[in-house]
Amino acid sequence: MRYMDKSIEEIHEALVKGEVTSRELIDESIEMSRKIQDKCNAFVTILDDVKEAEVTDELLSGIPYGVKDNYSTKGVLSTGSSNTLKDYVPFFTATAVENLTKKGAVFVNKTAMDEFGMGGTGTTCHTGVVTNPWDSSRMCAGSSAGSAAAVAAGVYPYATGSDTGDSIRKPAAYCGIVGYKPTYGMISRYGLFPFASSLDHLGVLARSVRDAAIVTDGMKGIDKYDMTTWDSSDIHLLDSLDGKVKGKKLCYIKEICDINNYPHASDELKAHLANFMDTVDKCKKLGMEVDEVSVDQTLLNASPSVYVVISCAEATSNMSNLTGFIFGPRAEGDSWDTEMKNYRTKGFSPLIKRRFVIGSYVLQAQNKDRYFHNAQRVRRLIVDKWKELFEKYDGVILPVGTGPAKKLEGSKDILDKNTSVLEEHLQIGNFGGFPSITIPNGFVDGLPVGVNITGNCYDDANVLNMAYALESSMDFKGQVVKEGK
């Protein structure tokens, strides 16, 4: 009997009834981890000495889960999938993991990711490429690639993720699962290796909206070590899932969703957008109003550049602590600056170095206003536009990406100009710190695709409830990869 492919509530019930023990669950999860490691290369570390936890009233108690490797975990290797931290064992644990531990949750592995979260392919981990469990010739997207692959493959019911542009929500779509990042500051960032502090969110990858709600209830909370957290003690996400969405209002954006915008659309893209419109119909059948709205194309087109400028600028600064002096493998050199230069030159992948160059460039005195300050101004304009939509609508519903997971070969991080907004609009959820959830909404070419709902700050319960109702009207809840290609 397998349990790791079930929902948290089902597993909890089995534990309480004594059908299975925490020990057996951990063993099953670790065995699955090894299997998926061979298949997908999803982990940096699989723990071999995991103590079971006492089963209590807490739904998460005694149940295994995975932690993305950019979460600081005391006594357990935490690399951020980077050679610069390949031997780093922290002496403190991220608040979010600490909170889950208090609920009795047990983490069994650390999942691979694009180096420090700075990639969207799952191919830039220092341990190698993470492949998609549905089809090993395809990527998981990133950066939470390992977490997405493991949850989709049934290693455990959920894993933590982090999301600076779409790093939870895109891999979730490519792997046919749920990816949710709550409002900025609901979950403490203390102990998360930073990429771009003003955009970084913690969140969860799971197989159902209910599970995502349970886990987020467990991770969230105000934290004295993170000044950007806020008190969410009166928000109970699981309890607020009632599926009652009649009269709720959603909108989708014509400039992103209309197939006529893409004259050279591939069959995959056509099928993906047609499937999205089916999903919109499902929303309507549930009693929600869904409007098509129009947003200035120029503003939308600016979004990817705004993201690059702000995220690279913050990243350059955030990662200046990586010198090899205090932690990380110290490099050789006859002076402190050559030591540091050697460490950074050897340790970072070319993709990251490219981002550092961009980040430094846009912050230079002579460029700062033109690039960095303008990016901040446009960020504000985009967020204001979305806030304006939220005055009228409970959420914005949009397709995730241009279709199913991309082929690993010839993928590179190069974007087609025409579809760049469709590919990257999830960043807007990071610009505004909005609660944003991706759920699976079908298959294209036998591979899963996803849809996203994003709502206003602090309106997490509403956003989750709409996703919950929509999920219940489709057949993809709890899906696990049975036999991938």
Partner 1 sequence: MGYRVMIGLEMHCEISETNTKVFSSARNDYNEYPNVSVRPVDMAFPGTLPVVNKEAVKMALMTSIVLGCQQPEYLYFERKNYYYPDLPKGFQITQETKPAPIGSYGVFNYELKGEKKSVRINNLHLEEDAASSDHYPSGSRINYNRAGVPLLELVTEPDFRSADEAVAFLETMRSIYQYLGISEADSKKGQVRCDVNVSIMDDSLDESDPKNWGTKVEMKNVNSFGGVRDAINYEIERQTELLDEGRGDEIEQETRRWDEESGTTIHMRSKVDAIDYKYFVEPNIPKFKIPKEWLEEIKSKIPRLPSERKEDYINNYGITDYDATIIVKEKKVSDFYEECIELGADPKKASNWITTNLLGNLNKLELEFDDMTLTPAMLKELIDLVENKEISSKQAKEVFEDVLTSGKTPKMVVKEKGMKQMSDEGEIIKIANEVLDENPKAIEQYKNGRTNVVDFLTGQIMKKTRGTANPTIARSTMASEIEKR
> Is 68 a catalytic site residue?
yes
| CA–CA dist 214, 383 (Å, integer) | 28
Report yes or no: 399 and 274 within 8 Å, Cβ to Cβ.
no
- Contact between 92 and partner 1 by CB under 8 A: the answer reads yes
Which residue in 360, 374, 411, 418 binds partner 1 (CB under 8 A)? 360
Marked catalytic residue, from 143, 144, 147, 303: 143
Find the binding residues for partner 1 in span 196-215 (CB under 8 A). 196-198
Q: Which is nearer to partner 1, 55 or 428 (CB)?
A: 428
* 135-139 and 249-253 strand pairing: unpaired
Nearer to partner 1, 193 or 252 (CB): 193
User: Taking a C-beta distance cutoff of 8 angstroms, is the pair 481, 133 a contact?
Assistant: yes
Backbone angles phi, psi at 71, to 5 degrees: -95, 130
Return the sign of the alpha-carbon dihedral for residues 170, 175, 176, 179. Answer: negative
The token pair at 355 is 């981002």
Q: How far is the CB of 363 from partner 1 (least distance, A)?
A: 4
**Measured from the CB atom, is 301 or 321 closer to partner 1?**
321
> CB of 309: closest distance to partner 1 in angstroms?
11
CB 225 to partner 1: min, Å: 6
**Ramachandran region of residue 47, left (φ > 0), alpha (ψ -120 to 50) or beta?**
beta
Question: Is residue 226 left, alpha or beta, with left meaning phi > 0 and alpha meaning psi from -120 to 50?
Answer: beta
The secondary structure of 145-203 as a DSSP string is HHHHHHHHTTSSSEEEEEESSSTTHHHHHHHTSEEEE-STTSS--TTBPPS-TTT-EEE
72 or 419: CB nearest partner 1: 72
- Per CB under 8 A, the list member of 19, 23, 225, 369 interacting with partner 1 is 225
- Residue closer to partner 1, measured from CB, 71 or 434: 71
From 64, 66, 90, 176, residue interacting with partner 1 (rule: CB under 8 A): 90
408 vs 403: CA distance, rounded Å: 14
Q: Which stretch binds partner 1 (CB under 8 A): 40-48, 129-137, 150-158, 356-364?
A: 356-364
374 interacts with partner 1 by CB under 8 A? no
Residue from 120, 102, 132 nearest 161 by CA: 120
* Binding residue for partner 1, selected from 363, 381, 415, 474, defined by CB under 8 A: 363
Minimum distance, C-beta of residue 163 to partner 1, in the bound complex (Å): 16
**Residue from 21, 275, 305, 317 binding partner 1 (CB under 8 A):** 317
| Residue 190 lies near partner 1 (rule: CB under 8 A) | yes
Asked whether position 336 contacts partner 1 by CB under 8 A, the answer is yes
How many whole angstroms separate alpha carbon 17 and alpha carbon 316?
Answer: 51
> Is residue 143 among the annotated active site residues?
yes
Binding of partner 1 at residue 94 (CB under 8 A)? yes
Q: Which of the ranges 130-138, 254-262, 336-344, 385-393 carries the binding residues for partner 1, by CB under 8 A?
A: 336-344
Does 194 interact with partner 1 (rule: CB under 8 A)?
yes
HSE-CB of 60 using CA atoms within 13 angstroms: 26
Best CA proximity match to 385, nearest among 296, 457, 261, 302: 296
Catalytic residue among 61, 147, 167, 232: 167
> Does the active-site annotation cover 233?
no
Record the tokens describing residue 350, joined without a space: 């070319």
- Binding-site member from 7, 81, 127, 316 for partner 1 (CB under 8 A): 316
Q: For strand 395-399 and strand 447-454, is the pairing parallel, antiparallel, or unpaired?
A: antiparallel
CB of 98 to partner 1, least distance (A): 12
3-state SS class at 453: strand
Q: Is 89 in the site for partner 1 (CB under 8 A)?
A: no
Query: Any contact of residue 88 with partner 1 (CB under 8 A)?
Result: yes
Contacts 24+ apart (CB under 8 A), 361-366: 362/309, 362/312, 362/313, 363/313, 363/316, 363/317
Any contact of residue 334 with partner 1 (CB under 8 A)? no
Beta strands in 247-335 (DSSP E): 249-253, 289-293
Residues 226-255 that bind partner 1 (CB under 8 A): 226-228
Q: Is 333 in the site for partner 1 (CB under 8 A)?
A: no
167 lies in the binding site for partner 1 (CB under 8 A): no
| Least distance to partner 1, CB of residue 378, Å | 16
C-alpha radius of gyration, the chain, whole number: 21
Part in contact with partner 1 (CB under 8 A); list of ranges 262-270, 362-370, 412-420, 455-463: 362-370
Contact 158, 212 (CB under 8 A): yes
Of residues 58-87, those binding partner 1 (CB under 8 A): 71-72, 78, 80, 85
Catalytic residues: 68, 143, 167
- Which residues are near partner 1 by CB under 8 A? 71-72, 78, 80, 85, 88, 90-92, 94, 189-194, 196-198, 224-228, 313-314, 316-317, 319-323, 325-327, 336-337, 340, 360, 363-365, 368, 372
